[in-house]
Each structure stands twice: as structure tokens, then as C-alpha cells.
Structure 1
Amino acid sequence: MGELETLRGIASVLEVSCPFEFQDVFIRELAIDSRKVVMSAQSLFFAISGDRHDGHNFIEPLYEKGVRAFVVNNDYAASDKLDDAFFIRVENPLVALQTVAAAKRAQFNYPLIGVTGSNGKTIIKEWLYQLLSSNYNIVRSPKSYNSQVGVPLSVWRMKSENNLAIIEAGISMPGEMVKLEGIIRPTIGIFTNLGQAHDENFTDGNQKAREKLDLFQNVDTLIYCKDYLIIQEELNQYPFASKPKFFS
């Protein structure tokens, strides 16, 4: 068990103090959905506010199920009956989740394959897993966990016993991939294709291609299909930190 898997370690990453009685609590599960909490005593719930739901509304029901550790907004007012719970107060629980995941990623040096594209991310990830699992101990994104919350939950699954990770990343708006790259930090990239998904949120296909390429700004190797002319065009002028090896 690493330091980061304790409440003391997580609180330290988020620059929050941790009371003595909570410092050695082992956190096995990061949770954002109250319906999917399995290991209550070893769960840390991030109360993320979205367009449809506010995670803070589920804190008391989760407390009744045995959860005692929560990441909440600074202004969250806990009721008196939650007096034995630990609240990590932050400006933005989503950013806190991403920060914790990035710290977890930084613990490991084994190769990580990052997969993005308009279609085929999950299929490629699962195909690679089937091909490589006999030779590698692989950790991979569950299902299609590729969003701003799905990626951190995927990266949290990385363990020292693994020697390869395959993580998929998807975006729907400009500026999102830069955040995901900072969490995933892939060493090998796969750009599956460029389709019409979320076109309404980008000025054109070139902008969308550039945004997706942000996942690969620090990779050593990039695999893509040069039949997609926009991808090839944007690759030719993308400011990689260090020019990767290309395979197409």
C-alpha cells in the first residue's frame, strides 16, 4: 500500500490537513456515483456538481451506508449527525479528483497507451488487451470510462503489479484534452479516426483534430491513420514536446 492510498496521502496531495484518527484510513475506491459505491469503509466520495445532479445531496445517504470520507466544496455545511465523517474541503471536487489521479499516475513508470478518436476507442482498447494480456499485466479503462471523471477513475486503478496501462480519452469541448493529458501522460498514442461526434462544439474538423492531438504532446510513439487528411495536416504542424515516432 502506498502513501497515496491513505487519506493522509490524498489530503496531502490536495494540500489539506488530515486529523490523526483518519490518517491511516486505506482508500481503495474513488467514487462519484452514490449508486455504485461498493467498499463503503474504504471509499472516498467526490461530491461533484453537474447539470443534473449535485453530489452533495447524496452525502447523508452514503454516510448511512458506511462512507466516512468525502471531498466537498468549501462552503458545504455538514449536519451534526455527520460528526464522525472526514470532509476534505476544496474549491472544486472535480479538479480535486483529477489532481489525485494525476498524482497516482506519477507513481508509475511503465508504458501507458493512450487511445482517442471519434470512434473505436473502447474497441481498440479491448482488442489490445486481448492481444497483449498473455505477455503483460495490464490495467485498462473499465467500459468506456473516457470523460473528465471517467479518466481519473481509470487511472486510479493503476497498481505496482501492472506493467502496462491502456487508457482511453474522449472529449466533447475545446480545452478538455489538455486536462486529460495531464492525468494520463501516455507514452504511446493511438489516434483511431476523426468523425462527426461533437462537431457542434468545434469551429471545424481541424480544431477538433488539434484538440485531440493534445493527448499526445509528450508521447514517444504515435499510431494513426494517415488516410484522414485532416489528422495528417494537423500532425505536420503540431508542436510536440519532442517529435515522436510515427506509425500509420
Structure 2
Amino acid sequence: MAYSIANIAAIVGGTLSGPRHGDSIEHLLLDSRRLIFPGTSLFFALKGPRRSGDKFIAELYRRGVRNFVVSAQPAADLTDANFIEVDDPLAALQRLAAFHRMQFSLPVIGITGSNGKTTVKEWLNQLLEDRYHIVRSPKSYNSQTGVPLSVWQLQPVHGLAIFEAGISRRGEMRRLQPVVRPTIGLFTNIGEAHSEGFGSRAEKAAEKLNLFKDAEVLIYCNDQPETVSAIAGWDAKGNTRLFAWGSKPGAAMPIGRIEKRTAGQRSPDRQYPSPFPL
């Protein structure tokens, strides 16, 4: 799918200037080293801890890019370029991806947790790829920038999406939820990874739950006390069907024992209701 630069400016709430208001955008660019399609790329000049994307605008202009999202107009005289000026280019990127997500009505599996997100995503892809044309996060694209780039891949041909989302501090999941807007939630676990930005595991679990506030079903392990506690106090749980697995009482899929083998591990063969509304 392609959007005109004028349409994108309206979507992100920015001010568009430049002579090429009819330009069509298909690709989002955050890293000048990844430029492939200059004529249809939109570069977001993000501000990082060590360098700012503004420093690469002139170089990208020389290489054929003509559309940029910036927080301030560059000093260089780039007369043939379009600029969308916004307060926060990262927020604009997420707003654009969230709008793109809303153009599709399909099952979306959203995965979060401290560990295992990418592994679970790839397992699900292998299990379901014979039934669906799947779009999924590339590699471990689960950050504040990686999630929008993942969701931007959505096309009308897709029948299922699988996206992972990771966070490192308070407030981040609330920014990613509208971008992913999962219909199916999968909570892997809560561990020590990326704990520096949170006061406790319980606080981190509660923040991660924000991804699933509009989900039809949430799948989680009831062996994790922080997860169970966060779900018990979760405001949105009344709108979401909960599907627990684990060794604790009340699990929809109880695990009685695990057999460890050289080729992996398995639980006894039993039939359980599928948690996936696919």
C-alpha cells in the first residue's frame, strides 16, 4: 500500500512544506544505510542518544530521497524536498503505523514478555504458515521503532499477523498498543531482562499488559505469580477471554508433568480447547 505525502502529513498532524505534494510513499526509512528505494521512501529524522537523524538529511537528498519527517527544517537549501515538521518524529512514526494498522481487519497475535518473544513468534509462524499468508516481525523488531516498521509490512494479501513488542521503561507499551492492536495476546513470561526501568517485576508485568487491552483472548502461564497478580488487577480483563496454561490449579491447559528428552521436551498427549479464535 502507498500513501501520498500530503495524506501522511494529515495522519501524523504535521506541517507539510515543499513542491512535491503528490509524491507516493511506500517505504519508511530510519537508517540511511538501509536505503533501497529513494523515490518512494520517507525518512524519519529521529533523535538518538548519540546522534540525530537530521545529520543524514543532506546525504539522503543527494542519494535521491525527497521526503522527510523532521522536528525542525534543516539549514541546507534542499529546494526539491518535502518536509513534514512535527514535534516528535518518533511519535509521528508510531501514529502513521497505527493508522496503517487500522486499515486491516484480520487476526493479529501480539506477543510480549521478558524472554522468548522471537522464539514463540517463529514457532507460531511454522505452525500456521500452511493455513495463512502471514506477516510477522522481522528478526527481533520489537522496540519503539521496530514495531512500527513491522506493522508497516501489512498488506491486503495477508490473512494473519504476528508481532512482538518489548519495552524497557514505563509508558512505552501504551505507545505500542495502538500500533499492534492485537486481537490475540500472548504473554510469555516475566524475568529480569530490561528491569532497570521498573520498580518491580509486578510493575513490569502490569505495564506489559497494556498491549492487550483490546484483545479478544489473552494466553499466559499461571505459574508466574507476577503475571497472575497483574491480570487479577487488570482493568481490561472483563473484555478479554483469559486462557491460562501451567501447573497451578485453574489452568485451561494444565501441565501435569514434562518429559525431558534429548530432542526436546513434551507434556503428555491430551486434547485441549484451542485459545486461538482463528
TM-score, normalised with respect to structure 2: 0.84
Q: Residue 30 of structure 2: which of 32, 57, 72 is its match?
A: 32
Select which of 1, 5, 8 maps to 1:7.
Answer: 5
Aligned to 1:48: 46
- State the distance in 1 between where 2:226 and 2:190 align: 8
Superposed displacement of residue 168, structure 1: 0.5
Q: Helix, strand or coil for the counterpart of 1:30?
A: strand
Q: Residue 197 and residue 20 in structure 1: after superposition, are their counterparts in 2 closer, same or farther (change >3 A)? A: closer
1:85 to 78, 81, 88: 81
Q: Distance in 2 between matches of 1:172 and 1:235?
A: 20
Q: Secondary structure at the match of 2:124?
A: helix
Amino acid at match of 1:67: V
Pick one of 108, 122, 141 that aligns with 2:118. 122
Could you tell me the percent identity over the aligned residues? 48
Please report how far the alpha carbon of residue 242 of structure 1 lies from its aligned counterpart in structure 2 after TM superposition.
Answer: 3.9
- The gaps in structure 2 that reach 5 residues or longer are 245-278
Range that drifts further, 10-19 or 63-72:
10-19
1:9-48 Cα deviation digits (max 9, x unpaired): 2112123465795333221110111111111111000000
What secondary structure, in the 3-state scheme, does the structure 1 residue paired with 2:235 have? coil
What RMSD in Å do the two structures reach over aligned CA positions?
Answer: 1.5
Q: Which fold has the larger relative contact order, with Cα–Cα distance below 8 Å and residues 6 or more apart in sequence?
A: 1
Q: Determine whether 1:105 maps to 2:130.
A: no
Asked if 2 retains the 8 angstrom alpha-carbon contact of 1:218 and 1:242, the reply is no
Q: Is the 8 A contact 2:16 2:85 kept in 1?
A: no
TM-score, normalising length from structure 1? 0.94
Q: Does 1:178 align with 2:174?
A: yes
Shift of residue 226 of structure 1? Answer: 0.7
Give unmatched runs, 5+ long, in structure 1.
none
CA distance in 2, matches of 1:149, 1:123: 20
Mapping 1:1-248, distance limit 5 Å? 1=1, 5-16=3-14, 18=16, 22-73=20-71, 75-80=72-77, 82-240=78-236, 242-248=238-244
Aligned equivalents of 1:216, 1:36: Cα separation in 2: 32
AA aligned opposite 2:93 = L
Conserved 8 A contact 1:155-1:184: yes
For residues 43 and 237 of structure 2, the distance between their equivalents in structure 1, rounded to whole angstroms, comes to: 35
| CA distance in structure 2 between the partners assigned to 1:107 and 1:22 by the alignment | 25
The residue type equivalent to 2:116 in the other structure is G
More displaced, 218-227 or 237-246?
Answer: 237-246
Shift of 1:77: 2.8
